[in-house]
Structure 1
Amino acid sequence: MPILEVHLVEGTHTSTQHTELLRTLSVRYAELLEAPVERVRAYLTLHRPEHWVVGGEPGKAAPYFTALMLEGRPAEQRARVLGALTDIVVDVLGVERRDVRGRIIQVPPEDWGIGGVPASAARRDEIAARSAS
C-alpha cells in the first residue's frame, strides 16, 4: 500500500531533482516500513506559482508531502517516517527544513484494495504480525 504524494511549485526544481526525489523517497519509505519497494507508489503534483501561496507569498518553494500507510504502525515508526522523508526533501531539493510540511494518513486495512481485494484479507498475515509486535 505505501503511497507517497509530493506537492511542489512548478518551475522551482529540475526534472532531474523530481526523479531523484521520487526514487529516493520510495526506497527509504520501503525501508522504514520494512516493505518491498515494489509496493511503493510515489507521485508528484506540480502547482502553478499563482496557485500556491505560503504565508501570503505566491509561489514560495515550500514542499508538502503525504505518506499513506495501513493503520496500525507504531507512533515511533511514523515519527521516523516524517523525519526521514523531510530529510530527503531538504537534501534533494535544497529547501529550508522549516519550509517542509508532511503528514501521515493511516488507512484501515478493510478500506484499502490490493488487486480488488481488501488489504485486511490480502495482507492478513503481515497485519497480524505487525499487531503482535
Structure 2
Amino acid sequence: MPVLEVHLVEGLHTPSQHAELLVAMSTRYAEVTGVPRDRVRAHVTLHRPELWANGGIPADGRSAPYFTAVVFADQPAEVRRRLLGALTDLIVDVLGVDRRLVHGEAIPVQPDDWAIGGVSAAARRAYA
C-alpha cells in the first residue's frame, strides 16, 4: 500500500541521486512504519523548470522538493510525524537542498479505500 512520490525540477539533480533517494525513502518508510519494504512503491516526478514556481517565482535553479507519503489512517499520528521528518532528512542529505525549502505531506487513507489486486486492504486484513 505505501506510496511515495517526490516532485523535483528536472535537471537540478542527477539520475543517480534520484535512484539513491528512491531506495533510501523506501527503506526509511519501511523502518518507520513497519511495512515490508517490498510493498513500498516510490517514484520521482520531474517537472520542466518553466512549469515550476516557488512562492510565485519561477524556478531559479534552487530546488524546492515536495513529497507525499500515502499511509493507512490507522497509523498513529506520531508515526506519521516521524515519517515526515525522516523523509525530509533523506531529501536534504541525498539532494543537498535547503531544509526550509522541502515540503511534504502524509496522506492518510482508510483501508476500505485502498485496493490491492482489486480487493480492499480492510478485506485482506480480515482474511489474514
TM-score, normalising length: structure 2: 0.94
SS at match of 2:30: helix
Q: Which blocks of at least 5 consecutive residues in structure 2 are unaligned? A: none
Cα displacement (A) at 1:125: 7.3
Cα displacement (A) at 1:55: 1.8
Pair 1:89 & 2:91 matched: yes
SS at match of 1:123: helix
Pair 1:70 & 2:72 matched: yes
- Aligned partner of 1:130 in structure 2 is none
SS at match of 1:84: helix
- Aligned partner of 1:98 in structure 2 is 100
Q: RMSD in angstroms over aligned alpha carbons?
A: 1.2
- Aligned partner of 2:109 in structure 1 is 107
Moved over 2 A (4+): 123-126
Distance 1:90 1:125, change over 3 A: farther
- Aligned partner of 2:47 in structure 1 is 47
Q: Deviations over 1:34-83 (max 9, x none)?
A: 01101000011000001000023212410000000111111111110000
TM-score, normalising length: structure 1: 0.91
Q: Kindly provide the amino acid, as one letter, of the partner of residue 98 in structure 1.
A: R
- Aligned partner of 1:129 in structure 2 is none
**Corresponding residue to 1:118 among 100, 117, 120:** 120
- Aligned partner of 2:28 in structure 1 is 28
Distance 1:125 1:64, change over 3 A: farther
